[in-house]
Amino acid sequence: MLKGLNITRSNQVWELNITYIPMSHGFMYLFAIIDVYSRYVVGWSLSNTMSAEWCCSVIADAIATHGSRKLSIVTKAVNSLQANMSIY
* Secondary structure (DSSP) of 34-65: EETTT--EEEEEEESS--HHHHHHHHHHHHHH
> Can you give the pLDDT at residue 15?
87
pTM of the full structure: 0.77
Residues of the chain short of pLDDT 50, as ranges, are 78, 82, 87-88
- CA–CA dist 49, 84 (Å, integer): 11
> Can you give the pLDDT at residue 79?
52
Element housing 16 (H / E): strand 13-23
Q: Which residues contact 52 (CB under 8 A, 6 or more apart)?
A: 85, 86, 87
Q: What is the CATH number of domain 13-85?
A: 3.30.420.10
Specify the 3-state DSSP secondary structure of 30.
Answer: strand
Give me the residue spans of the domains in the chain. Answer: 13-85
